[in-house]
A and B are shown apart, each in its own frame.
Chain A
Amino acid sequence: MKTFFAAAALGAGLLFASAASSEDLRATGDLGLIIERATGTALIVESTDRTVLAQVEGLGNLSHASVVYSRDERYAYVFGRDGGLSKVDMLTGKLVGRVMQAGNSIGGAISDDGKLIAVANYKPGGVNVFDAETLELVSEVPAIYDEVGNQSKTIGLVDLPGRRFAFSLWDGEQIWILDYSKSLKPEITKLEDIGVFPYDALVTGDGRHYIVGLFGEDGLAHVDLWKEPLTVERIMDGYGKGEEPLPVYKMPHLEGWAKANGMYALPAIGRHEVLFMDERDFTEVDRVKVHGQPVFAMARPDGRQIWVNFAPPHNDTIQVIDILERKIIKTMKPGPGVLHMEFTPRGNEVWMSVRDKNEIHVYDTTDFSLKEVLPAEKPSGIFFTSRAHQLGL
């Protein structure tokens, strides 16, 4: 009896303690992670008052790192170039898990049920899949694409509805779809001859269209994931019009945010243009000449504006295209090395990494005024937790 009372008292005390600290509780919906690529660190930031909350250390080589979030927005999964997969607690700012899962990797995705983390690797080429809770390896898919056993670098990994993932083979010129809905031994669908050097891919927010950019050709590969059996078709074929492509000093990126107002905004390869493609028939609607080789062409969440950054030597500049007239409405020079942009969830502000200034800039997207400058060590990718609820991000 005494024990019971003691336990009850202790329980009450705990309850009281947690009630007292509830003022300190916070949610994660306005948080984000900024990669500091040279130091293997990341900043946890919040976008309501635009401040830095913590710095997370020990993340390894973060050149070209990317991030996905658990569906409760509590944990960030950071994919490093060195093959490291790190799990970061966004509330405590602590590294809570880390595995070296390959020699060289490029990015990852989280399954729609939040249970599986998939990582696309360059070396050894293929995709590894992990338990999101424990980071235990649960499936390995080597991207062997011919009889000789050649293994391809993998790119453009995204999640699809129904516990599936899609990715592309840089060397193998294929698209693979992994289906984990029945077991951890995936059913694999392979689509061949998609085109030369697929460099990145996107899936639309509805999970219907997987679109792959090709470095070696002036066209894109497209799969309508709602139409069985799956087939791959070439779209925007010959957008270069036979002209000699310009050298590309940084690979562009494709993500699902490209869709806006019935169109996709896509960076052209080897041309200083953003291409606008009809979302229904995949034909060209328009093209806009821009300041350099576009790297990211990102729609503001409402789709009204497309923000574009550029490869060297033009990476000090940002241009904003109005979607209605497809005219450049703003050109600005935040500084050398503008690597990445991320919109706040409703698009009122955009955060920008200005690497060579060691700064993060926050701009108002309506009047383009500079709202904040935050210090960061060689910042690159910026990832807000709101990505947790967007397919393909």
Chain B
Amino acid sequence: MAKTERSAQNPLRSFLKAGVLALPLLTGAPLGALADEEALKIIDREKLTDFVQQDCGSCHGLTLEGGLGGPILPENLEHMDSDVIQEVILGGLPGTAMPPWRGFLTETEAAFIAEGLKTGAFK
């Protein structure tokens, strides 16, 4: 996905767009001209949501309300810009249990997660 993604500026928007486009898929309507690229994004969005709930969730709680790691709900992240959150996701927080996820996640994917955490998209 990330390889074909060019507009890294606002990945959330394109993901949301992909989510809207997914509707005909769910209702069984013919795919028509829905590009493979869009279908690919739909899968990745689900995968990333699952990743946040399961893998982030193993420390931060399944609904991100906190565990051994602190809560990461929108109200907990108000003071952080999403690019800072993105950097924490990718680089980890040395001296804490937060590991660097670079290697698991691309810049774009980390940006999508950061933005989603700010807006409560994974709750």
Q: Digitize A281-319: 1 where CB-to-B-CB distance is under 8 Å, 0 elsewhere.
A: 000000000000000000000000000000011000000
Tell whether A199 is near chain B: CB-to-CB under 8 Å.
Answer: yes
Q: Digitize B40-69: 1 where CB-to-A-CB distance is under 8 Å, 0 elsewhere.
A: 000000000000011101110111011110
> Contact: B59 with A251, CB < 8 Å?
yes
> Contact: B67 with A122, CB < 8 Å?
yes
Q: How far is the CB of A64 from chain B (nearest CB, A)?
A: 6
- Find the residue from B55, B62, B92, B97 having the highest chain A CB count within 10 A: B62
Measured between beta carbons, the chain A residues less than 8 angstroms from B53 are 38
Measured between beta carbons, the chain B residues less than 8 angstroms from A247 are 92, 99-100
Measured between beta carbons, the chain B residues less than 8 angstroms from A249 are 55, 99, 104
Q: How far is the CB of A123 from chain B (nearest CB, A)?
A: 7
Closest-by-CB residue of A relative to B65 is A104
Tell whether A390 is near chain B: CB-to-CB under 8 Å.
Answer: no
Known contacts A197-B97, A215-B97, A313-B104; A251 and B66 CB within 8 A of each other: no
> Contact: B68 with A170, CB < 8 Å?
yes
Known contacts A63-B57, A63-B62, A249-B55; A81 and B67 CB within 8 A of each other: yes
Q: How far is the CB of A72 from chain B (nearest CB, A)?
A: 32
Closest-by-CB residue of B relative to A215 is B97
> Contact: B66 with A123, CB < 8 Å?
yes
Tell whether A328 is near chain B: CB-to-CB under 8 Å.
Answer: no
Closest-by-CB residue of B relative to A245 is B99
Complex Cα distance, B59 from A153, in Å, reads 13
Complex Cα distance, B57 from A350, in Å, reads 26
Complex Cα distance, B53 from A61, in Å, reads 12
Measured between beta carbons, the chain A residues less than 8 angstroms from B59 are 250-251
Query: What bracket does the count of chain B residues touching chain A fall in?
Result: 10 to 19
- Find the residue from A153, A312, A313 having the highest chain B CB count within 10 A: A312
Query: What bracket does the count of chain A residues touching chain B fall in?
Result: 20 to 34
Q: How far is the CB of A334 from chain B (nearest CB, A)?
A: 16
Within 8 A of B (CB), among A144-198: 153, 155, 170, 197
Tell whether A355 is near chain B: CB-to-CB under 8 Å.
Answer: yes
Q: How far is the CB of B118 from chain A (nearest CB, A)?
A: 21
Tell whether A225 is near chain B: CB-to-CB under 8 Å.
Answer: no
> Contact: A81 with B97, CB < 8 Å?
no
Tell whether A37 is near chain B: CB-to-CB under 8 Å.
Answer: yes
- Find the residue from A62, A199, A251, A356 having the highest chain B CB count within 10 A: A251
Complex Cα distance, B92 from A61, in Å, reads 26
22 of the cross-chain contacts (CB-CB < 8 Å) are A37-B62, A61-B63, A61-B65, A63-B61, A63-B62, A63-B63, A63-B67, A64-B67, A81-B67, A122-B68, A153-B68, A199-B97, A215-B97, A247-B92, A248-B97, A249-B55, A251-B58, A251-B59, A251-B68, A251-B97, A312-B55, A337-B54
| A residues at B contact (CB < 8 Å) | 37-38, 61-64, 81-82, 104, 106, 122-123, 153, 155, 170, 197, 199, 215, 247-251, 312-313, 337, 355-356
- Apart from A37-B62, A312-B104, what are 18 other A-B pairs with CB-CB below 8 Å? A61-B61, A61-B62, A62-B62, A63-B67, A64-B62, A104-B67, A106-B68, A122-B66, A155-B68, A247-B92, A247-B99, A249-B104, A250-B59, A251-B59, A251-B68, A251-B97, A337-B54, A356-B54
| B residues at A contact (CB < 8 Å) | 53-55, 57-59, 61-63, 65-68, 92, 97, 99-100, 104
